[in-house]
Chain A
Amino acid sequence: MITTKIPPSLSTNQMRKLYHQMWLIRYFDEKVDEFFARGAIHGTTHLCVGQEATATGACYVLENEDKITSTHRGHGHCIAKGADVNRMMAELFAKETGYCKGKGGSMHIADVDQGNLGANGIVGGGIPIAVGAALTSKMKNLGYVVLCFFGDGAANEGSFHEALNLASIWKLPVVFFCENNQYGMSGPVKEMVNIENIGDRASAYGIPGKVIEGNDLFSVIEATEKAVARARKGNGPTLIEAKTYRWKGHSKSDAKKYRTKEEEQYWRKEKDPIQLLANRIISDNLLAKEELEALQLQAREQIDSAVEFAEKSPAPSLTSLELDVYA
Chain B
Amino acid sequence: MLTMVQSIADAQRVALELDENVLLLGEDIGKNGGVFRATEGLWEQFGSDRVIDTPLSEAGIVGSSLGLAMGGFKPIVEIQFLSFITPAFEQIVSHVARMRLRSQGVFSNSMVIRAPYGGGIGAPELHSDSTEAYFVHTPGLRVVVPSSPYTAKGLLLGAIECPDPVLFLEPLRLYRSRKEEVPSSYFTCPIDKAKRWREGEDVTLIGWGAMIPILIDASQMLIEQDISAEVIDLQSLSPIDEDTIFDSARKTGRVVIVHEAPRTCGVGAEIAARLSEEVIDSLEAPIKRVAGYDVPYPLFALEHAYLPNVNKVVRAVMELVYFQ
Contact = CB atoms under 8 A, between A and B. Distances in A.
Interface string B263-295: 000000000000000000000000000000111
Contacts, number: 116
17 contacts: A44-B123, A94-B302, A100-B299, A103-B302, A104-B125, A124-B56, A154-B56, A156-B57, A158-B87, A159-B87, A184-B55, A185-B28, A185-B35, A191-B53, A253-B36, A316-B298, A325-B296
Contact of B127 (A43, A95, A123, A322): A43
A94 B294 contact: no
Interface residues of A, number: 41
A316 B301 contact: yes
Nearest to B84: A122
Interface in A158-207: 158-159, 184-187, 191-193
B56 A153 contact: yes
A134 to B, nearest CB: 22
A42 B27 CA distance: 23
Given A318-B305, A325-B295, A325-B296, A44 B56 contact: no
Contacts of B302: 94, 102-103, 316, 318, 320-321
**Chain B interface size, under 10 / 10 to 19 / 20 to 34 / 35 or more:** 35 or more
A187 B126 CA distance: 21
B126 A107 contact: yes
Contacts of B84: 122-123
Contact of A121 (B30, B124, B294): B124
Nearest to A314: B301
A278 to B, nearest CB: 35
Contacts of B195: none
B85 to A, nearest CB: 11
Interface in A293-327: 315-316, 318, 320-322, 325
Given A43-B122, A122-B83, 13 more contacts: A43-B121, A44-B123, A108-B125, A121-B124, A122-B84, A122-B126, A153-B56, A186-B30, A187-B27, A187-B28, A192-B56, A315-B301, A316-B301
Contact of A258 (B31, B55, B57, B123): B31
B168 interface: no
B57 A105 contact: no
**Most interface-central of B35, B54, B306 (chain A CB within 10 A):** B35
The 4 closest A-B pairs by CB, nearest first: A42-B122, A43-B123, A186-B32, A94-B301
Interface of A: 42-44, 94-95, 100, 102-108, 121-124, 153-154, 156-159, 184-187, 191-193, 253, 255, 257-258, 315-316, 318, 320-322, 325
B59 interface: yes
Nearest to A121: B126
A257 B32 contact: yes
B313 to A, nearest CB: 19
A322 B53 contact: no
Interface string B3-44: 000000000000000000000000110111101100000000
Contact of B53 (A121, A156, A187, A257): A187
Contact of A157 (B57, B128, B295): B57
Given A106-B124, A153-B56, A192-B55, A321 B87 contact: no
Given A156-B57, A257-B32, A258-B31, A321 B298 contact: yes
B107 interface: no
Interface in B54-96: 54-60, 83-84, 86-87
Nearest to B306: A321
B295 A321 contact: yes
B300 A42 contact: yes
Interface in B113-129: 121-128
